[in-house]
Amino acid sequence: MATQLPFSVVSFNMHGMNQGLNVLSSLCNSSTFDISAIFVQEHWLTPSNMSTLKMFSSNYIGYGISAMEHIVGLNVLKGRPFGGVCILLKSNLANNVKFKYCSERYVIIAFNNTLLINVYFPKIVNDDVLCTVQSTLVEIQDIIDQFPNHNIVCGGDFNENFDFLSNRSQVLACFINNNDLV
């Protein structure tokens, strides 16, 4: 019987690569904690700069996407950058990845018998945003259903206070309950 090594996950909302650079560097080079996966949200990188995060540390391999692919493809980026999600997985574990999917709002990696899901949701402030969240959850659920015997580690920025559920945020609570998440 193989010994199971500890697997640890940290979630970090960077509020921009420049702003979160020092903390991310500390997480990637920590001698105190052996972090297996780092879930990053809001890196604010354009598609041409994603390699900055994907290859940020020789200790990790990055799986992620810019949230600005569509907008940059249309024209020159105007205003503040936004969004983006990435999972940094310890380099020595990357050979065990058998599935990966990157979207503007989530990244999913099938790793051994585990699904790693990193999400970045908008705050549900109106019905349009609620529809975005619902369709994103349907996409994620479709992938979860492809891996019925996998454990799920889901983290990130849900932009919701689960202590005070509103009618709109119930959709997130249902997703959590339906997938036996805590």
Q: Which pLDDT band holds residue 3 (cuts at 50, 70, 90)?
A: very low
User: Of 12-16, 38-42, 53-57, 74-78, which gets the smallest average pLDDT?
Assistant: 74-78
pLDDT at 1: 38
Q: Per CATH, is 9-123+153-160 categorized as 3.40.30.10?
A: no
Contact 11, 155 (CB under 8 A): yes
Percent with pLDDT over 90 in the chain: 56
pLDDT at 145: 97
Question: What single-letter DSSP state applies at residue 58?
Answer: T
Tokens encoding 41: 């949200």
Give yes or no for residue 11 having a pLDDT over 60: yes
Q: Which pLDDT band holds residue 70 (cuts at 50, 70, 90)?
A: low
What Å distances lie between residue 35 and 26, 30, 60, 72, 78, CA to CA?
A: 11, 8, 10, 33, 36
Alpha-carbon distance of 124 to 52, in angstroms, equals: 30
Among residues 98, 83, 97, which one has the least CA distance to residue 157? 83
pLDDT: is 24 or 66 the higher one? 24
pLDDT at 44: 82
Task: For 123-175, write each residue's pLDDT tens digit.
Answer: 888 999 999 999 999 999 999 999 999 999 999 999 888 777 777 778 998 99
Task: For 75-124, write each residue's pLDDT tens digit.
Answer: 555 555 457 899 999 999 999 999 999 998 999 999 899 999 999 999 88
Among residues 60, 54, 48, which one has the least CA distance to residue 90? 60
Contact 61, 89 (CB under 8 A): yes
Domain definitions of the chain by residue range: 9-123+153-160
Q: Which pLDDT band holds residue 7 (cuts at 50, 70, 90)?
A: confident
